[in-house]
Amino acid sequence: MEPAPGLELQTRVPLVEDEEPDSDKDLPAANQRRIPRLKHYKWWLRVALYTLFLLAGQSAATLLGRLYYDKGGNSKWMATFVQSAGFPILIPLLYFFSPSTNSTTTFLTKLPPIHILTFLYLFFGLLLTGDNLMYSYGLLYLPVSTYSLLCATQLAFNALFSFLLNSQKFTALILNSLVLVTISASVLAVHAESDNTTKIPKQKYIIGFLCTLGASATYSLYLSLVQLSFQKVIKRETFGAVLDMQIYPSFVATCGCVVGLFASGEWRGLKKEMGDYQKGKVSYVMTLVWTAVTWQISSIGLLGLIFEVSSLFSNVISTLALPAVPILAVIFFHDKMDGVKVIAMLLSIWGFLSYVYQNYLDDYESKVTKVDVNEVSGSHVELC
């Protein structure tokens, strides 16, 4: 599940809003200069680590999902199940980032009513179930390189839903990004015949193509709705709140996958599928387990970047894996990488950079505005 810029949460609010101790004031001036610099280096180290988790986890999970199908796996619901089933890995973080005893009362009073939270988690969980299922169909019927390049259309869908739901403005750079990504997807659609080297029936190829586009649109809608929920309902910008929004919908999505697995009857063929897996039963189990684990490693990176920087930055970083996955697919799965795909990839990267630069300009403008406001307020205080 790999992700594009959608959420606009600023998660730099401390978990416990206590005043910092005054011990630093008693330190020599040289030490006072070293402490902020040390904190700055540690912050960059954490950001680099979370970025590595996100990119490595996302790329590995996509390739393992393709490996499952290539070596004999055929259950769409099982492939969907592992995308969310690894959420228990994140549960210990809930205890680590739980509010302190002193702030528990304040924390509870700020929570929305439990029935509203339950509805949100159920709705987002079911939305993720459908989204992950469409991704599974896309990965089954498309080469990994084509699948990954199509996922770049998430940027275009994100711009649309952010405009409709989150009051994001359309600028020349955003429009440029949208057009380039759309052209990239169109080029791949026209190129479908020569790309279909796995002899997949044309109808299934088209289904995979449309499912991947639908999954990209659905995930963009999910991001915009989550942002809206944080702004209008949850109103808490902490790592714990973001973690809740990852764990509880993932639990609902996992339950939905179990229901789908039994309702579709695919569970009956799992034993035979395991026995016929080309790499053996142990490899079958390990492929599924590590697919689930790598998706959650990607989630830890995503959540960490949301907390350390912003969700916008985390989703931008997640799209950096899009050019990497097609290259890895050529190496490990011998996907065909011809001139048309290279052009489509370059168009996607160009559109991505346009999107990133526009958001950089927006962020820079907001910082300048804050500085100007602080200077005006400071001047007003001095005059008074």
DSSP 323-347: HHHHHHHHHHH-----HHHHHHHHH
Q: Return the pLDDT at 260.
A: 94
Q: Return the pLDDT at 382.
A: 56
Q: Return the pLDDT at 188.
A: 65
Residues ≥6 apart with Cβ < 8 Å to 226: 6, 7, 124, 245
Q: How confident is the model at residue 374 (pLDDT cuts 50, 70, 90)?
A: low
Most confident of 2-6, 102-106, 227-231, 288-292: 288-292
Please give the DSSP secondary-structure letter assigned to residue 102.
Answer: G
Q: Which of 3-7, 306-310, 375-379 has the lowest mean pLDDT?
A: 3-7
Mean pLDDT of the region 158-187? 75
Mean pLDDT of the region 250-262? 94
Q: Which two tokens stand for residue 379?
A: 């001047």
Q: Return the pLDDT at 210.
A: 93
Q: How confident is the model at residue 92 (pLDDT cuts 50, 70, 90)?
A: confident
Mean pLDDT of the region 30-39? 53
Most confident of 39-43, 80-84, 99-103: 80-84
Cβ-contact 172, 185 below 8 angstroms: no
Q: Return the pLDDT at 216.
A: 87
Q: Return the pLDDT at 376.
A: 61
pLDDT, the chain, mean: 76
Q: Return the pLDDT at 243.
A: 84
Mean pLDDT of the region 179-205? 68
